[in-house]
Structure 1
Amino acid sequence: MELTGEIAAIRDGRGDPARLVGEFRRSVLLVPLADGPDGGLMSAVSGGIRWVYAFTDEEALARFASARGQADREWEFLSVLGARLVDAVVPMADGPAGVAVNVADEAGSMFFPPVAGIVPDASAVDLAAGEVA
């Protein structure tokens, strides 16, 4: 099953969290580039966590652009494996970070928070310093 199917299964209460995380790690996601002088990947901070935006396809990214009132501009993005986002990008963030997938899809979004089993142990907020899951 692809990532959107695994998200739907979890949201319906019939999914397997381990299968969801595995599919997320194997999926190629579209990550928009941030505008402005700092550049980088587009993200937002909420609840003290930096959430990197990622999308399962161009249609999901287009819905995000439309929700922001920016559907008429060109969106630059990178294609990145979910595993690369959590294993390489999250540890580089200043503070806790996770990945928000398809955030403009009310019934199809999913957050992958900075916890053990999703991000590297050193970046997991649910582990004490030096603790290993």
Structure 2
Amino acid sequence: MRDTGRGLAERLTESHEGRLDGAALVNEFRRALVHVPVIGEALWSADSGGVRWVYAFTGEESLGRFLAARAVGPGTEVPYMRAYGARLLDVAVPAVGRPAGITVDVAGPWPGLLPPVAGIVPPAAVAV
């Protein structure tokens, strides 16, 4: 396991530059320690197209961009946890109880999606 999202951010950049290696991106996410904002006792997420998307960020800077885009004022404390991507994919996503995936650095220059498809999320979280 890794203690940084830097490698993940590099993989996201590569994917946007046309050098997508989906398996490498998923593997890098599984090893990365990412920042996940929380609201109350829940992971911050959003619904779109019948899928619940859990927000994850490669670092505090990318999380800050997301908060600014959401008009969360500077100095407003937003709690977050750090978790390995594998834990999010294997435990948190299936706990949603319906199709769910992960958005990575959603407000950044190189965002990524890990959709609810076989090979990325466990069967219980796959969209049909």
Same topology, TM > 0.5 = yes
Inter-partner Cα distance in structure 2 for 1:96 and 1:109 = 20
Q: Percent identity?
A: 46
Name the SS for the 1:33 alignment partner: strand
* Of 93, 99, 114, the match for 1:90: 93
Contact kept in structure 2, 1:34 and 1:43, CA below 8 Å:
no
- The aligned counterpart of 2:113 is 111
User: Which one has a bigger Cα radius of gyration?
Assistant: 1
Once the two structures are superposed, what CA deviation does each residue of 1:58-88 show, in whole Å capped at 9, x if it has no partner?
0001111111111321110010101100100
Gaps of 5+ in 1: 127-133
- The aligned counterpart of 1:50 is 52
Once the two structures are superposed, what CA deviation does each residue of 1:78-133 show, in whole Å capped at 9, x if it has no partner?
1010110010011111311100111111x31001011111101232225xxxxxxx
Inter-partner Cα distance in structure 1 for 2:48 and 2:32 = 24
Gaps of 5+ in 2: 1-5
Count of residue pairs brought into register by the alignment: 122
What is the identity, as a one-letter code, of the residue corresponding to 1:74? E
Once the two structures are superposed, what CA deviation does each residue of 1:7-55 show, in whole Å capped at 9, x if it has no partner?
11111111311111100100001000115xxx31100001110000110
Q: Does 1:21 align with 2:21?
A: no
Contact kept in structure 1, 2:34 and 2:84, CA below 8 Å:
yes
What is the identity, as a one-letter code, of the residue corresponding to 1:23? E
Name the SS for the 2:43 alignment partner: coil
- The aligned counterpart of 2:7 is 2
Given the two structures, how large is their TM-score scaled by the length of structure 1? 0.86
Runs of 4+ in 1 over 2 A off after TM superposition: none
